[in-house]
Amino acid sequence: MNQPNQPSAARAWAVTFAGMGINLALGVLYTWSVFAAALIDQLNWTKTQSQFPYTLACVMFALFMVPAGRMVDKFGPRLVATIGGILAGAGMIISGVTQSLVGITIGFGLIVGAALGFGYGAPTPAAVKWFQPHKKGLISGLVVAGFGLASVYTAPLTKYFLTNYGISRTFIYEGIIFFAVIMILAQVLTFPPPGYVPYGGPPPATRAASAASSKYDFSPREMLATPQFYLLWLMFCFAASAGLLIIGHLAKIAQIQGGINWGFVFVAVLAVANAGGRILAGWLSDRLGRTNTMLLVFAIQAANMLLFASYKSAATLFIGSVLTGIAYGANLSLFPSATYDYFGLKNAGINYGLVFTAWGAGALIGPIIAGRAADLTGGYNASYLISAALLVVAAILSFVTKPPTKPVSDGQAVKV
Candidates 338, 328, 275, 273; CA nearest to 300 is 328
d(CA 336, CA 353): 9
d(CA 198, CA 134): 11
Q: Are residues 167 and 289 in the same domain?
A: no
Q: Are residues 285 and 378 in the same domain?
A: yes
Q: Are residues 226 and 268 in the same domain?
A: yes
| DSSP 8-state symbol, 29 | G
d(CA 222, CA 128): 22
Tell me, yes or no, whether 410 lies in a domain: no
pLDDT at residue 408, as a whole number: 58
Terminal alpha carbon distance of the chain:
29
Judged on CB neighbours under 10 Å (0-12, 13-18, 19+), 194 is exposed
- Report H helices in 259-311: 264-288, 290-307
- Give bridge partners of residue 415 from the DSSP assignment: 405
Instruction: Please tell me which residue, 2 or 67, carries the higher pLDDT value.
Output: 67
Tell me, yes or no, whether 75 lies in a domain: yes
Candidates 371, 329, 361; CA nearest to 59 is 361
Q: Which residues contact 23 (CB under 8 A, 6 or more apart)?
A: 119, 120, 123, 143, 144, 145, 146, 147, 150
Q: Are residues 151 and 234 in the same domain?
A: no
Tell me, yes or no, whether 45 lies in a domain: yes
pLDDT at residue 201, as a whole number: 66
Q: Are residues 183 and 235 in the same domain?
A: no
d(CA 69, CA 220): 11
The model's pLDDT over 40-50, given as tens digits with 9 standing for 90+, comes to: 888 888 877 88
pLDDT at residue 7, as a whole number: 62
Q: Are residues 320 and 183 in the same domain?
A: no
**Collapsing DSSP states into helix, strand and coil, what is residue 252?**
helix
Please report which confidence band the pLDDT of residue 390 belongs to, taking 50, 70 and 90 as the band edges: very high
Q: Are residues 160 and 297 in the same domain?
A: no
CB 56 within 8 A of CB 358: no
Candidates 20, 29, 68, 22; CA nearest to 184 is 22
164 has pLDDT over 80: yes
Percentage of the chain beyond pLDDT 90 is 43
User: For the residues 187-202, what does the mean pLDDT come to?
Assistant: 83
Please report which confidence band the pLDDT of residue 407 belongs to, taking 50, 70 and 90 as the band edges: confident
pLDDT at residue 211, as a whole number: 47
User: For the residues 177-203, what does the mean pLDDT come to?
Assistant: 87
Tell me, yes or no, whether 283 lies in a domain: yes
Q: Are residues 233 and 165 in the same domain?
A: no
AA letter at 166: G
Q: What is the CATH number of the domain that holds 20?
A: 1.20.1250.20
Please report which confidence band the pLDDT of residue 1 belongs to, taking 50, 70 and 90 as the band edges: very low
Q: Report the range of poorest mean pLDDT among 22-31, 88-97, 194-203, 229-238.
A: 194-203
Please report which confidence band the pLDDT of residue 414 belongs to, taking 50, 70 and 90 as the band edges: very low
411 has pLDDT over 70: no
User: For the residues 339-344, what does the mean pLDDT come to?
Assistant: 90
Please report which confidence band the pLDDT of residue 325 belongs to, taking 50, 70 and 90 as the band edges: very high
Tell me, yes or no, whether 209 lies in a domain: no
pLDDT at residue 369, as a whole number: 80
Q: Are residues 137 and 238 in the same domain?
A: no
AA letter at 309: A
Tell me, yes or no, whether 4 lies in a domain: no
d(CA 111, CA 121): 15
Percentage of the chain beyond pLDDT 70 is 92
**Angle at the Cα of 215 (from 211 to 221), degrees rounded to 5?**
115
Q: What's the total number of domains in the chain?
A: 2
Instruction: Please tell me which residue, 286 or 110, carries the higher pLDDT value.
Output: 110
Q: Are residues 222 and 180 in the same domain?
A: no
d(CA 111, CA 341): 32
38 has pLDDT over 90: no
Tell me, yes or no, whether 116 lies in a domain: yes
CA Rg, the chain, in Å? 20
- Give bridge partners of residue 131 from the DSSP assignment: 199
d(CA 318, CA 95): 31
Cα–Cα distances in angstroms (integers) from residue 137 to residues 158, 276, 323, in the given order: 32, 13, 20
Largest interatomic CA distance in the chain: 68
Instruction: Please tell me which residue, 54 or 180, carries the higher pLDDT value.
Output: 180
Please report which confidence band the pLDDT of residue 6 belongs to, taking 50, 70 and 90 as the band edges: low
Judged on CB neighbours under 10 Å (0-12, 13-18, 19+), 205 is exposed
Cα–Cα distances in angstroms (integers) from residue 257 to residues 310, 384, 400, in the given order: 8, 13, 38
410 has pLDDT over 80: no
User: For the residues 126-141, what does the mean pLDDT come to?
Assistant: 83
pLDDT at residue 110, as a whole number: 96
Candidates 364, 387, 330; CA nearest to 57 is 364
Candidates 312, 310, 329; CA nearest to 269 is 329
Domain holding 315, by residue range, is: 218-400
Q: Are residues 241 and 381 in the same domain?
A: yes
Tell me, yes or no, whether 205 lies in a domain: no
CB 236 within 8 A of CB 335: yes
Q: Are residues 271 and 358 in the same domain?
A: yes
DSSP letters, 336-378, are: HHHHHHHH-STTHHHHHHHHHHHHHHHHHHHHHHHHHHHHHHS
